[in-house]
Amino acid sequence: MRTPVFPADRPGAVEQVAGILQDGGIAAFPTETVYGLGADAFNPEAVARVFAAKGRPSGKPLILHLSGPEMLPQVVADVPAAARVLIEAFWPGPLTLVLKKAGGVPAIVTAGGVSVAVRCPAHPVATALIRALGRPLAAPSANRSGSPSPTTAGEVMEDLAGLIDAVLDGGPTGIGMESTVVDLTVSPPTVLRLGALSVEALRRLLPDLRVPADRRESDAGGEAAPGQAAPTPRYVSGARLVLVEGADIERVAVEVRRRAERYAAGGSRVALLATAETAGAYHDLGPAVTVVEVGARRDLAGVAAALFRTLRSVERGGVQIILAEGFPEEGLGAAIMDRLRRAAGEVVRT
């Protein structure tokens, strides 16, 4: 199978991809967070092809993407008051709500469960595509299972060329970090995945929002309880990611430096993920250590936007070790640390 890439701004491109989806095809499309791999939510065979193309376990349900709240009655049984408040404040945007599902939603979408995840992406191409299809799009992130979520059409093609029917190219996604997932079917409402919308922003409207302590090590399914073995490292296949955490960034940088020297002396090639504030501390580490800036510590949105892209590119570079600095777990920092810890083979606390 050849996978055509349609520039989203070419006249007729959105309608063409909507036609592919109408015929049971599967296609990647941009959202404000990351690229999604969409199928008509009411076509179980098409949804099955999404699971197959990603190599995704069938027990992990998909998010339904809506053009707006007017699509909710098609997919959810009721909209509780808390959902109304959050929708009013944060849709369209990077917030996914888990609600009681409506009868018509195919079982494969929800992995057989009675709840369904819904969100309304804030991206004109995604909205136009869902409108043209006239139905919700069931879509996980458009990566092979275990790789970082893609933020460009090129990254989608790296993982899925030949496995999917089309890519709608809307350029790089703005946020680069997946949506926050909140379960409103339980009491108190509970965060199932940290993401682009901060817990602080949610708690302003939902003060009793619960964030389980082990959230950082889980992915709503396939999680290790506290005290059990660490979860299988994700995202970084060929290299070992070592994450150095600590409240004092100068001490973190000293430990990162010490380790970079040690790994290089042992014959490893090292990629060191630095920030604008710390990169100067690493400039003289020699040819075995490549220093890559992921943004500035005072601009965590920039770090979030660069993180997955950087992990992909250093992995491509064929290093043995990726050394990463930790970030304060406030605002977007919580989601950034969640993703870094999931990718890490080793976490060092300074």
**Which of 151, 152, 179, 275 is close enough to bind ligand TXA by CB under 6 A?**
179
Residue sitting closest to Mg ion (CB) = 141
Under rule CB under 6 A, residue 342 binds ligand TXA:
no
Sheet holding 5-7, edge to edge: 5-7, 166-169, 27-29, 36-40, 137-139, 63-65, 115-119, 95-100, 180-183, 190-193
Residue 116, contacted partner among ligand TXA, Mg ion, none, CB below 5-8 A by kind: ligand TXA
Between CA 193 and CA 63 the distance in angstroms is 12
Q: Which residues of 52-63 are buried (b: 16+ CB within 10 A; e: fewer)?
A: ebbebeeeebbb
CB of 31 to ligand TXA, least distance (A): 5
What is the distance between the alpha carbons of residues 132 and 61, in angstroms, rounded to a whole number?
Answer: 24
The nearer residue to ligand TXA, 223 or 346, going by C-beta atoms, is 223
What sign has the CA pseudo-torsion 213, 300, 146, 230? negative
Point out which residues bind Mg ion (CB under 5 A): 141
**60 binds ligand TXA, rule: CB under 6 A:** yes
Helices 13-22 and 124-133, packing angle to 10 deg: 50
Tokens 């009675």: give the residue: 114
Q: Which of 43, 110, 275, 278 binds ligand TXA (CB under 6 A)?
A: 110
3 or 185: whose CB is closer to ligand TXA?
Answer: 185
Residue 147 interacts with which of Mg ion, ligand TXA, none, CB < 5 to 8 Å by class: none
Which residue, 190 or 275, has its beta carbon nearer to ligand TXA? 190
Q: Is 198 in the site for ligand TXA (CB under 6 A)?
A: no
Say which entry of ligand TXA, Mg ion, none residue 151 contacts (CB below 5 to 8 A, set by partner kind).
Answer: none
Report the alpha-carbon distance of residue 160 to residue 350 in Å, rounded: 39
Torsion-angle region of 128 (φ positive above 0: left; ψ -120 to 50: alpha; else: beta)? alpha
SS3 category, 212: coil
Q: Are 141 and 149 in contact (CB under 8 A)?
A: yes
Residue 56 C-beta: closest distance to Mg ion, Å: 8
* Residues 219-258: x where in contact with ligand TXA by CB under 6 A, - otherwise, as a string: xxx-------------------------------------
Cis preceding linkage at 328, omega within 30? no
| 102 alpha-carbon distance from chain centroid | 26
Interacting span for ligand TXA (CB under 6 A) from 58-66, 246-254, 305-313, 341-349: 58-66
Binding map of ligand TXA across residues 13-42, x = CB under 6 A, - = no contact: ------------------x-xx-x------
Instruction: Verify binding: residue 108, ligand TXA, rule CB under 6 A.
Output: no
Which distant-in-sequence residues (6+ apart) come within 8 Å of 18 by Cβ? Answer: 129, 132, 133
H helix runs in 134-184, sequence order = 153-160
| Among 92-100, 237-245, 293-301, 310-318, the segment contacting ligand TXA (CB under 6 A) | 92-100
| Choice between 198 and 275, CB closer to ligand TXA | 198
Measured CA to CA, the distance from residue 269 to residue 321 in angstroms comes to 7
Which C-beta is closer to ligand TXA: that of 117 or that of 291? 117
Contact footprint for ligand TXA (CB under 6 A):
31, 33-34, 36, 60-63, 94, 96, 98, 110, 113, 115-117, 121, 139-141, 178-179, 181, 192-193, 219-221
